[in-house]
Structure 1
Amino acid sequence: MQQVKAIFTGEGLLARALRSSALTVAGFGGAQVLRLASNLILARLLFPEAFGLMAIVSVIIQGLMQFSDVGVSPAIMQSKRGDDPAFLNTAWTIQVLRGAGLWLVACALAWPVAVIYDEPLLMQLLPVAGLSLLITGFNPTALDTAKRHLRWGRVTAIEFAVQITGIVAAVALAWWWHSVWALVVSGVLSAGVALVLFWLFLPGAGNRMGWERLAASELIHFGKWIFLSTICGFLFNQADKLILGKYLSFDVFGVYNIGFFLASFPMLLGHMLTWRLLIPIYRELPPHESAANFAKLRRMRFAVTGGLMALSAGFALLGVWLIGIMYDDRYAMAGAVVVLMALMQLPQIIVMTYDQASLAAGDSRRFFILTLAKAAAMILALLLGLEWGGLMGALLGYGAAMVLAYPVVIWLARHMRAWDPVHDAAMTALGLALAALALWLNGAALTDLAQLSGW
């Protein structure tokens, strides 16, 4: 126990990384338990169309955040001036202006989005949901400072408190209104609570409006590629909802989102771990500097990928059963979606530890090229899959997209001297064995999905 305590205490990179990993996993696990419980309650208080409508609103809001991301957070995390007050105030000023602009854009988009999806209610939902963008713009840079130094204790506690607040609000409002408005309003309330708690409880000097020319120049130079990267990242991560939301009825689309909700747990955890940990780790352990650094990164990579694949295996093998015990017959098709989506996310899990190497080195251009390739592959694969095989074809296309983009992953990782073919080959073999077992166990449900998709 003393040895374990020694490993987790102290201010070295390993201790901070392990503490951050433990906090991330614990926070994520608790958050997902709460998220699942609230989803089960809301599925009974609301109707499938509400989840379909909210999925469209969420995609638009997330899209606005990503389409306008100028890389303030990663710039603070990797810059040598990341602790300089003048640099931080300039970054915060950019962030506040961006938040105000995003809310205005959300209001402007309300009418065309309502016309595209033939749903007048979206004209009212989007401006209200967009208030969360305005509020988030005022979050203090103390949040980014905590990320920079791998100090996640208070951040995790605050995020947990915010989630509880949002869930309680969503359930109470859904019981009262029985409307999609419960989901929208609770999201805005959560953003407001997060803002207050971050300002009150995160250590560090408060921000104020300021503009330093050199700081702005550095932020803009680094952020121009991040801006383009986040547009592509949005298209890669949300293309399924944008495309399927147009081609499926809202009730079927709502069922799809229930299935995606469960199957996405491993990917959400993986993105959270890599975003929180890998820029600082790659910055302090550049793989090109020594074989020892590469060996440490290999051990980290196997641990992250192995853990996420084990979690995916649970959903791939038990997805139909989980949906059966948690939801009523209206959501039965979601079981097959869980199984297939869990399998189709495996290629992303295998390569997700490479992306941040370029950002840690300050090379946001190569990061953009990779995200562009991934977005193009995802859109192409989804459209071809829909054309060829309906919903099931689209799900298969989701998995094929990352396979198509893999050569670009290798190109980026080799340039950073981070590519590990031994890891990729071993995890691919494990993934194929898992896929064979999951398909054998859930063949009947997948056959039903194939028939519903017109096969």
Structure 2
Amino acid sequence: MLRSALLILSGNAVTSLMLLARNLLVARLIPVADYGVAATFAIAMAVVEMGSQLGLQQQIVQARNGEDPRFQAALQGFQVLRGVIGGIVLFALAGPIAAFLNVPETTWAYRLMALVPVFNAFTHFDIHRLNRTMVFWPAILSGAVPAFLALLVVWPLAMFYGDYTVMLYSILLRAAMIAVTSHLVARRPYRLVLDRAVMGNSLRFGWPLLINGMLLFAVFQGDKLIVGRELGMEVLAIFAMGFTLTLTPTLVMAKSAQNFFLPQLSAVDRDTPEGQARFQYLSMVTMQISLLNAVILVVVFALFGAPVVHLLLGVKYAALPPLLVALAILQGLRVAKAGGGVVALSCGHTSNAMQANLMRVATLPIIWYAVVQGATLPVVVLIGILGETAGYALSLYLVRRNPGVALGQMLGPVLMSVALMVAAALGDAVSGDVLQGQGWIQPLALIVLLGLTVLTMKDLRRYITRRRKNR
């Protein structure tokens, strides 16, 4: 079991690191303003994705009949239908998106991006079905191979174009290869069925995820839309790169936790006392490891973020290092919040994540008003942190209410994690003159707090110890 966890984590990490390397290489090879335009392609894709988040991949893992070939074919058919509709929507919205971001000359690029949801729609769901039996290689290869190819083409594209189209063609190639690779590693023949009953069940299962997809668009892209529209492409490039650096490990952690724990939680029979105890235990492990991932992210960026940015991006992105710790805290709270969402999803309660994200979305009007009034990027990030803090608190309340997980074992880890994040933020805010000659204080404090946080996570430590003994 521990070997499977390491496989998932390493596989997701390799994919994300290659995509991060792709973004860093593009940022080095093209002007800063062009990278700002390239960052808006992610916003364009999110417009489509927010309308297609029905959780079909999670449904084939969570559903009792997930092994049924016809059920899989029906989900694949629904996926193709959604992808084609998504491509049409993106093509129609290309002009308005470019106009809103004040880059009307890029309309053609957004229209070409309409191919991406169509490519994604033909992904073979066998890579997700196999997760039910803890077989993860097909899903890992379907992510890693396309990411490698997307990185490989950056240099020749940059030599030929030298602008934001480098990112455009890299994104298109990756989307096409994800579909191709998923078919190459699949074990079942690919079939498409349009089944109204399955589509109806998927809509009932996924409508909270659909709304949550819209909320996630606001969470992940709302700040960028505001910054890009009001402050320009160069400021957006700085902000987007900061998001990329801190969000990449966050997504690796959240995706790995969901891939690993969702099948285990879904398989528990909660109708028996033993099953209820098992579910409670695994729920604590899932939420504690999500919180641990959050504090590790903060510690890493507090200790190494600034020198790594200077090394990788040079003076073009000199304005980024002062934002890194705050962005790491923002993303850390987001990955911590995902733990409760996985627990709820395993029981079919898909609305928990949606409700928790509402707290973050509520900050967007405040951010927009602040930016219009002259606020800078640190203020934008601070308001986002407050929203994510409220969202995490709500996620804990929701998982306690439904599916009814007791949260006593989370009190210590939460308090220690808060202390660590506060220490990281304060240490980052203190001037070099105050800590002159005592630069060891903050690293030592963060490492001690990280150790204390781990000590309070009794369920997680017991889980890891048992897995080591059973290897």
Measured against the shorter chain, the TM-score band is 0.7 to 0.9
Residue type of the partner of 2:264? Answer: I
Inter-partner Cα distance in structure 1 for 2:341 and 2:427:
33
Structure 1 counterpart of 2:368:
383
Structure 1 counterpart of 2:462:
none
RMSD in angstroms over aligned alpha carbons? 2.5
Equivalent residues of 2:145, 2:181 under 8 A apart: no
Residue type of the partner of 1:277? Answer: F
Equivalent residues in 2 for 1:4-403 (5 A)? 15=1, 18-208=2-192, 210-285=193-268, 289-371=275-357, 373-380=358-365, 382-383=367-368, 386=371, 387=373, 389-403=375-389
Residue type of the partner of 1:376? Answer: V
Residue type of the partner of 1:430? Answer: S
For residues 197-233 of structure 1, give each alpha carbon's deviation from its aligned partner in whole angstroms, at most 9, with x where no partner exists.
Answer: 111222123213x233432332222122222221122
Deviation of 1:413 after TM superposition, in Å, equals 0.7
Inter-partner Cα distance in structure 2 for 1:397 and 1:87:
44
Deviation of 1:442 after TM superposition, in Å, equals 5.8
TM-score (norm 2): 0.83
Classify 1:416/1:277 alpha carbon distance in 2 versus 1 (closer, same or farther; 3 Å). same
Residue type of the partner of 2:28? Answer: R
Deviation of 1:290 after TM superposition, in Å, equals 2.8
Structure 2 counterpart of 1:417:
404
Equivalent residues of 1:351, 1:409 under 8 A apart: yes
Equivalent residues of 1:76, 1:145 under 8 A apart: yes
Inter-partner Cα distance in structure 1 for 2:225 and 2:173:
26
Equivalent residues of 1:259, 1:337 under 8 A apart: yes
Deviation of 1:63 after TM superposition, in Å, equals 2.4
Equivalent residues of 2:352, 2:395 under 8 A apart: no
Inter-partner Cα distance in structure 1 for 2:280 and 2:370:
38
SS of aligned partner of 1:161: helix
Deviation of 1:124 after TM superposition, in Å, equals 0.8
Inter-partner Cα distance in structure 1 for 2:91 and 2:258:
30
Inter-partner Cα distance in structure 2 for 1:39 and 1:69:
25
Inter-partner Cα distance in structure 1 for 2:388 and 2:297:
19
Equivalent residues of 1:54, 1:180 under 8 A apart: yes
Deviation of 1:195 after TM superposition, in Å, equals 1.3
Inter-partner Cα distance in structure 2 for 1:374 and 1:52:
27
Inter-partner Cα distance in structure 2 for 1:384 and 1:119:
22
Deviation of 1:52 after TM superposition, in Å, equals 1.0
Unaligned runs of 5+ in 2: 435-471
Say whether 1:439 aligns with 2:426.
Answer: yes
Inter-partner Cα distance in structure 2 for 1:300 and 1:58:
29
For residues 143-178 of structure 1, give each alpha carbon's deviation from its aligned partner in whole angstroms, at most 9, with x where no partner exists.
Answer: 221233332112212321111101111222012210
Classify 1:126/1:430 alpha carbon distance in 2 versus 1 (closer, same or farther; 3 Å). same
Residue type of the partner of 2:237? Answer: G
What is the percentage of aligned positions where both structures have the same residue? 20
Structure 2 counterpart of 1:408:
394
Equivalent residues of 2:18, 2:148 under 8 A apart: yes
Classify 1:419/1:250 alpha carbon distance in 2 versus 1 (closer, same or farther; 3 Å). farther
Classify 1:239/1:419 alpha carbon distance in 2 versus 1 (closer, same or farther; 3 Å). farther
Classify 1:184/1:207 alpha carbon distance in 2 versus 1 (closer, same or farther; 3 Å). same
Residue type of the partner of 1:211? Answer: L
Classify 1:212/1:347 alpha carbon distance in 2 versus 1 (closer, same or farther; 3 Å). closer
Inter-partner Cα distance in structure 2 for 1:213 and 1:35:
37
Equivalent residues of 2:47, 2:90 under 8 A apart: no
Classify 1:319/1:431 alpha carbon distance in 2 versus 1 (closer, same or farther; 3 Å). farther
Residue type of the partner of 1:223? Answer: G
Deviation of 1:84 after TM superposition, in Å, equals 1.5
Equivalent residues of 1:70, 1:220 under 8 A apart: yes
Inter-partner Cα distance in structure 2 for 1:348 and 1:40:
23
Classify 1:163/1:354 alpha carbon distance in 2 versus 1 (closer, same or farther; 3 Å). same
Inter-partner Cα distance in structure 2 for 1:74 and 1:312:
29
Classify 1:406/1:300 alpha carbon distance in 2 versus 1 (closer, same or farther; 3 Å). closer
Classify 1:347/1:421 alpha carbon distance in 2 versus 1 (closer, same or farther; 3 Å). farther
Equivalent residues of 1:38, 1:171 under 8 A apart: no
Structure 2 counterpart of 1:430:
417
Classify 1:264/1:421 alpha carbon distance in 2 versus 1 (closer, same or farther; 3 Å). farther
Equivalent residues of 1:100, 1:133 under 8 A apart: yes
TM-score (norm 1): 0.86
Q: Which moved more, 1:427-436 or 1:379-388?
A: 379-388
Deviation of 1:301 after TM superposition, in Å, equals 3.4
Unaligned runs of 5+ in 1: 1-14, 448-455
Inter-partner Cα distance in structure 2 for 1:322 and 1:146:
37
Residue type of the partner of 1:358? Answer: A
Q: Which moved more, 1:362-371 or 1:407-416?
A: 362-371
Equivalent residues of 1:263, 1:339 under 8 A apart: no
Deviation of 1:109 after TM superposition, in Å, equals 0.8
Inter-partner Cα distance in structure 1 for 2:336 and 2:73:
38
Equivalent residues of 2:119, 2:175 under 8 A apart: yes
Equivalent residues of 2:9, 2:253 under 8 A apart: no
Structure 1 counterpart of 2:451:
none
Inter-partner Cα distance in structure 2 for 1:25 and 1:260:
21
Equivalent residues of 1:28, 1:269 under 8 A apart: yes
SS of aligned partner of 1:207: coil
